[in-house]
Amino acid sequence: MNIKDPKTIIRNLYQKYLNKEENIIYAHKLFIINTVINFLFSGKSYKELDQFQIARYGEYIHKYLQDEVDIVWKDGILTIRDLENGEYITGG
């Protein structure tokens, strides 16, 4: 993975998943993804991050964008729910 900071991740996702209709921008999933990325990078540089954790959350974000999982914050805990079987997975 060749990512240096969360801004790079978000910028690339915005370019791919931002929807615009006239003067309205639709980016509801990107707001949640931004919170996940900020959670991962809080107070850390890319080199300090656990590569397994990055890969795991990258997979969760991909599945979220494909409507396979839901990502929510519950009482300050990042929670991922599999939409197919309804099971909750809490990360972090």
Q: pLDDT tens digits for 65-82?
A: 999 999 998 888 889 999
**41-54: per-residue pLDDT in tens?**
887 766 777 778 88
Tokens of residue 40, six digits = 């991962």
Which tokens in the block code for residue 43? 């107070």
Amino acid at 21: E
> Please, is 81 exposed, middle or buried when counting C-beta atoms within 10 Å of its C-beta (0-12, 13-18, 19+)?
middle
